[in-house]
């Protein structure tokens, strides 16, 4: 079997006249805090550190501007499936959202404006990729190699999003395909799909948005489905001008809207995490959605999942099922046997000629190749440690064996019902508190205790056993190689906020800061850092 290598194509051009990177001559080679990733998480961390009066930090971002997944995913139809007023920073409400569910470009513009407003762009180094990060016990700091040279830092923060490394299909012959082929998150805007025979591999969240957006332009569309998703109606609408004016000028109105959305979403946790039978009402609604939009009995059967709703990510769309009923669209449920130069062959022997393939097969969530670059105190990479014992962290923030390193949304912090921005801000609180503790107690290092991490994760996985993600009868990208759900948070988000409000120093081994000799600085200079 071979695996296609899909290049990181340029995303749709966008204006970023104010989004400047750190000038080369001013790049600090040692910083107190080095943040990897400039998406929602990294930007939130940069803003919080700035608000706290900390300027000795640097954000390293491999892309050309802030935004992360919202910068990269520019495919047709890209939009958020969390209501706009909740999918934004609590400290920076946006009264100007155009719709109840924001399109991609609008979220990206919001992040650009926020970065400018809080004056943190000069703390970002764009178009730079971290190639390795190694903890040095002797120097008590992180040694980081990038495509723009070497850096050191006292504290390393991973703000790497879970949905950033495309998962590519392992299909025989796919590397021999002669037409256009690209992953949904690396959309090639130079490619013209109009009038062509197009195949979409996958029926997940991206595919459900892409399909309806391109169906009327292409000559023929084949949709390759491995597992049918549950799809709910999308309650989306444009905001009227009076509404937008009200959100802008009526004190507290947008806050109330955000609170209503938040608590409405939290109610869903009862079904997801405690009593899965509660979700049967939602499943009946999804079944009615199918019946209302699809008349053909055979197609209805093909799109109806055989597992309980909520076990995998619930999708929302008003256009997906109507698209599948179009004469020039075919839902293919037979597995793919091979790809040829101009066709896809399914296991039943059917050959379907195709001019372009859109790979919408998701991301490396529990096995990201990026973890191989980060090495802890014993020289093992994060990837090695997690392959051995499963992807786990203490409070989703710290990993034993990796001193002075914190995650902003690490393992078991994902959500199936609400806004990840809420979880990001919770972890940023924890980061800010950790830095305060280091200053107050004169700490040089902190490392979570192995027993505290073990106990935390045993309790977390015990809680996971009663959730829909375990009892719902499906396999999903939420699970790691050990069969554990190491992706989602199995409870109410306000409990996670409470859990991460302050840095619990007692859970960590620490060393006190001493007057550093010139030895560490000499080591850094010898390695070409300073």
12 pLDDT more than 70: no
Q: In this structure, are residues 449 and 507 in contact, taking their beta carbons and an 8 Å threshold? A: yes
Q: Percentage of the chain with pLDDT > 70? A: 93
Q: Which CATH number fits domain 24-165+365-526: 1.10.10.10, 3.50.50.60, 3.20.190.10, 3.30.390.50?
A: 3.50.50.60
CA 241, 244, 248, 249 torsion-angle sign: positive
Q: In this structure, are residues 85 and 258 in contact, taking their beta carbons and an 8 Å threshold? A: yes
Q: In this structure, are residues 359 and 169 in contact, taking their beta carbons and an 8 Å threshold? A: yes
**Whole-number Å distance between alpha carbons of 375 and 369:** 13
Alpha-carbon radius of gyration of the chain: 24
Question: Which class for 92: exposed (0-12), middle (13-18), buried (19 or more C-beta within 10 A)?
Answer: middle
CA 259, 260, 265, 266 torsion-angle sign: positive
Top-confidence residue, 459 or 480: 459
| pLDDT at residue 521, rounded to an integer | 37
Query: Can you list the positions of beta strands (E) in 289-340?
Result: 315-316, 329-332, 336-339
**Whole-number Å distance between alpha carbons of 365 and 161:** 9
256 alpha carbon, distance to own chain's centre:
27
β-pair type (180-183, 356-359): parallel
| pLDDT at residue 473, rounded to an integer | 84
Query: Token digits for 289?
Result: 């959605």
How confident is the prediction for the chain on average, in pLDDT? Answer: 91
β-pair type (30-36, 57-60): parallel
Cα–Cα nearest to 431, from 415, 407, 452, 400? 407
Long-range contacts of 438-443 (CB under 8 A, 24+ apart): 438/155, 441/505, 441/510, 441/512, 442/512, 442/513, 443/510, 443/511, 443/512, 443/513
Q: CA-CA distances (angstroms) from residue 77 to 207, 317, 319? A: 9, 11, 11
Cα–Cα nearest to 491, from 460, 458, 454, 456? 460
**Whole-number Å distance between alpha carbons of 225 and 334:** 8
Cα–Cα nearest to 443, from 408, 407, 403? 403
108 pLDDT more than 80: yes
Long-range contacts of 315-319 (CB under 8 A, 24+ apart): 315/81, 315/204, 315/205, 315/208, 315/229, 315/230, 315/231, 315/232, 316/81, 316/231, 316/232, 316/233, 316/234, 316/235, 317/208, 317/209, 317/212, 317/231, 317/234, 318/233, 318/234, 318/236, 319/211, 319/212
Q: In this structure, are residues 313 and 204 in contact, taking their beta carbons and an 8 Å threshold? A: yes
Q: In this structure, are residues 84 and 421 in contact, taking their beta carbons and an 8 Å threshold? A: no
| pLDDT at residue 389, rounded to an integer | 85
| pLDDT at residue 480, rounded to an integer | 83
pLDDT-based confidence at residue 25 (cuts at 50, 70, 90): low
In the chain, where the domains are located: 24-165+365-526, 174-237+245-359
Helix and strand element counts for the chain (H, E):
16, 20
Query: Token digits for 6?
Result: 């899909």
CATH 3.40.1160.10 fits 174-237+245-359, yes or no: no
336 pLDDT more than 50: yes
Query: Token digits for 144?
Result: 């980081």
**Whole-number Å distance between alpha carbons of 227 and 204:** 9
> Bridge-partner residues for 181, per DSSP?
357
Cα–Cα nearest to 345, from 19, 525, 353? 353
| C-beta atoms surrounding 502 within 10 Å | 14
pLDDT-based confidence at residue 173 (cuts at 50, 70, 90): very high
**Whole-number Å distance between alpha carbons of 401 and 376:** 6
Read off the pLDDT of residues 279-332 as tens digits, 9 standing for 90 and up. 999 999 999 999 999 999 999 999 999 999 999 999 999 999 999 999 999 999
127 pLDDT more than 90: yes
Q: Do domains 24-165+365-526 and 174-237+245-359 have the same CATH topology?
A: yes
Range in 44-48, 160-164, 336-340, 362-366 with the lowest mean pLDDT: 362-366
β-pair type (351-353, 149-158): unpaired
From first CA to last CA, the distance across the chain in angstroms is 46
| pLDDT at residue 20, rounded to an integer | 63
Read off the pLDDT of residues 480-512 as tens digits, 9 standing for 90 and up. 888 889 999 999 999 999 999 999 999 999 999
**Whole-number Å distance between alpha carbons of 217 and 8:** 25
């Amino acid at each position: 079997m071979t695996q296609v290598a899909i290049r990181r194509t340029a995303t749709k051009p966008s204006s970023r006249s104010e989004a400047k990177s750190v000038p080369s001559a001013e790049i600090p080679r040692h910083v107190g805090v080095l943040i990897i990733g400039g998406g929602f998480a990294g930007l939130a961390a940069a803003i919080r550190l700035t608000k706290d009066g900390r300027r000795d930090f640097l954000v390293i971002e491999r892309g050309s501007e802030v935004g992360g997944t919202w910068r990269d995913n520019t495919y047709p139809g890209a939009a958020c499936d969390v209501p706009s007023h909740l999918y934004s920073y609590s400290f920076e409400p946006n009264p100007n959202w155009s719709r109840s569910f924001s399109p991609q470009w609008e979220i990206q513009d919001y992040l650009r404006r926020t970065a400018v407003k809080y004056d943190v762009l000069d703390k970002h180094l764009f178009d730079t990729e971290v190639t390795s990060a190694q903890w040095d016990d002797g120097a008590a700091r992180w040694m980081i190699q990038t495509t723009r040279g070497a850096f050191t830092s006292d504290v390393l923060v991973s703000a790497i999003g879970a949905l950033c490394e495309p998962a590519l299909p392992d299909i025989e012959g796919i590397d021999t395909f002669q037409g256009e082929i690209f992953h949904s998150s690396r959309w090639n805007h130079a490619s013209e799909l109009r009038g062509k025979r197009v195949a979409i591999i996958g029926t997940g969240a991206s595919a459900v948005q892409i399909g309806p957006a391109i169906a009327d332009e292409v000559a023929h569309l084949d949709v390759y489905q491995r597992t049918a998703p549950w799809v709910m109606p999308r309650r989306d609408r444009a905001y009227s001008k009076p509404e937008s004016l009200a959100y802008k000028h009526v004190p507290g109105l947008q806050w109330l809207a955000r609170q209503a959305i938040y608590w409405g979403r939290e109610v869903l946790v009862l079904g997801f995490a405690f009593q899965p039978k509660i979700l049967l009402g939602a499943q009946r609604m999804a079944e009615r959605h199918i019946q209302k939009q699809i008349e053909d009995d055979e197609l209805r059967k093909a799109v109806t999942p055989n597992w309980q709703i909520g076990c995998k990510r619930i999708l929302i769309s008003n256009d997906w099922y109507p698209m599948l009923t179009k004469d020039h669209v075919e839902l293919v449920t037979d597995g793919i046997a091979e790809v040829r130069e101009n066709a896809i062959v399914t296991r039943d022997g059917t050959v379907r000629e195709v001019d372009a393939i859109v790979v919408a097969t998701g991301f490396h969530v529990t096995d990201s190749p990026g973890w191989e670059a980060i090495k802890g105190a014993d020289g093992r990479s994060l990837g090695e440690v997690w392959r051995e014992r499963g992807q786990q962290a203490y409070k989703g923030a710290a990993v034993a064996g990796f001193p002075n390193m914190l995650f902003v949304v690490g393992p078991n912090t994902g959500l199936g019902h609400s806004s990840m921005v809420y979880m990001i801000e919770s972890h940023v609180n924890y980061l800010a508190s950790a830095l305060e503790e280091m200053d107050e107690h004169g700490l040089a290092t902190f490392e979570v205790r192995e027993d505290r991490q073990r106990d935390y994760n045993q309790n977390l996985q015990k809680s996971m056993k009663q959730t829909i993600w375990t009892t719902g009868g499906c396999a999903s990208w939420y699970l790691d190689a050990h069969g554990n759900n190491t992706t989602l948070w199995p409870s109410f988000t306000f409990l996670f906020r409470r859990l991460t409000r302050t840095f619990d120093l007692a859970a960590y081994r620490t060393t006190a800061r001493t007057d550093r000799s010139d030895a560490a600085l000499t080591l850094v200079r010898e390695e070409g850092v300073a």
